[in-house]
Amino acid sequence: MLILGIESSCDETAASVSENGTTILSSVISTQIEEHKKYGGVVPEIASRRHSENILGVVKEALEKSGKTLDDMDAIAVTYAPGLIGALLVGVNFAKGLAMATGKPLIPVHHIAGHIASNYIAHPELEPPYLCLVASGGHSHIIEVLSHTEFRVVGKTRDDAAGECFDKCARALGFPYPGGVHIDRASASGNPETYPLPVPRVAGSEYDFSFSGLKTAVINMVHNASQKGTDIIAEDMAASVQKTISEILVSRTIAAAKDLGYRKIVLAGGVSANSGVRSTLSAACEKNKFELFMPPLSLCGDNGAMIACQGYFNYKAGITADVSLNAVATMPIDKL
Ligand code: KG4
Ligand code: ZN
């Protein structure tokens, strides 16, 4: 089954053709990072405009590179939630237009389910049920993946997402947007013990996260140092931030896995590219004899292949939409 997957929830316009979900025939990603960098973060209005300009070219290129035509597609999958509403609408309307014009099925895909599905591409042997840690720029969740299309959130952030925390700490240290990858690089030569950082807990919910206190602590330390005329060693602070975020994400995931009886752990989302998160989770899984699946770096960030892949599983489960499909900015993955 050939599926065209379309993604436009944030600052990447992406399209991909996949066969039976897990074989990628093409994957094209047009990123807007350079433009948003000037403003230190994603400007929603600019994101929508760029998606509108880019989507036709990106989809055409994905079809060309796959060696297939639109006619060959069996269905069209699109991210419809969650994300920036104006950005999502571009992909949703484009996909609806294609589905209407061709009479092909339209498949709605939840963005987080797409991130999780990137692991099926990389690890075709992976089967639910398992416990998944999803950490991205907008989300930090611990999710029970009961089947390819059924999810139960057991933990989530109460404030900032892990990626947002990486990005805001990076900004305080003078790194450009998106700063997560710069924290990752700088950490390699930093000492994580130089600047101890708080590990915020969420009262009454041991699997939930809170990252805003950590972000504020870093911003205050940088601010206080500059007021005193001293310097923060960026590499050391980056290493502290990375170690602290990694330990928070991993400790709660492992606790949830033990309590809920999962021995299979999966990582997903943009932050799964972080070397500290990967190594901390690998070590914890090895210690507890848990099986671990992580996406390759090429599938960690937003892409169309993960949407095409989840689209395949949605289609097999009978999840399709008609042209009344709308984009939704906020939608929990377990309330689909
Ligand atoms: O999944 P994604 O591409 O977009 C959302 O769905 O939000 O995630 C983007 C987030 C950004 O916050 C970015 O800084 C972070 O993932 N990120 C990283 C790394 N690569 C991307 N954070 C830490 N270390 C990295 N290597
Ligand atoms: Zn994403």
CB atoms closer than 10 angstroms to residue 199: 13
- Position 258, amino acid: K
Percent of the chain residues topping a pLDDT of 90: 97
179-211 pLDDT, tens digit each? 999 999 999 999 999 999 999 888 888 899 999
Fold of the 128-295 domain? Nucleotidyltransferase; domain 5 (3.30.420)
Q: Does the structure show a pLDDT above 80 at 251?
A: yes
Residue with tokens 């949830």: 256
Residue whose CA is closest, atom 14 of ligand 1? 180
The ligand whose atoms approach the alpha carbon of 178 most closely is 1
CA of 181 to the centre of ligand 1 (A): 7
The pocket around ligand 1, CB under 6 angstroms, is made up of 10, 136-138, 163, 166-167, 178, 180-181, 183-184, 269-271, 273-274, 301-302
Residue identifier of the C-alpha nearest atom 1 of ligand 1:
270
* Tens-digit pLDDT profile for residues 231-244: 999 999 999 999 99
- Residue spans of the domains in the chain: they are 2-117+299-335, 128-295
pLDDT digits (tens, 9 = 90+) for 45-67: 999 999 999 999 999 999 999 99
> Residue 12: what pLDDT?
97
CATH superfamily of 2-117+299-335: ATPase, nucleotide binding domain (3.30.420.40)
Tell me the C-alpha to C-alpha distance, in Å, between residue 52 and each of 12, 23, 69, 193. Answer: 12, 28, 21, 46
- The protein residue with its alpha carbon nearest to ligand 1, atom 8, reads 270
pLDDT at res. 205 = 86
The arithmetic mean of pLDDT across residues 10-16, rounded, is 98
Question: 3 with 75: CB under 8 angstroms?
Answer: yes
Residue nearest (by alpha carbon) to ligand 1 atom 16:
270
Task: Evaluate the omega torsion of the peptide bond into residue 332 and state whether it is cis, within 30 degrees of 0.
Answer: no
- Alpha helix positions (H), 15-126: 33-37, 44-66, 85-102, 111-122
Best of 181, 250, 333 for a ligand 1 pocket test (most atoms within 8 Å of beta carbon): 181
Establish how many alpha carbons lie within 13 A of residue 278's alpha carbon, considering only the half-sphere containing its beta carbon: 15
- 2-117+299-335 and 128-295: same fold? yes
Nearest to 317 by CA among 335, 330, 336: 336
Q: What is the side-by-side order of every strand in the sheet holding 291-293?
A: 150-156, 140-147, 130-135, 264-268, 291-293
The sheet with strand 75-81 has its strands ordered as 23-31, 12-19, 2-7, 75-81, 106-110
What is the SS3 assignment for 9-41? CCCEEEEEEEECCCEEEEEEEEECHHHHHCCCC
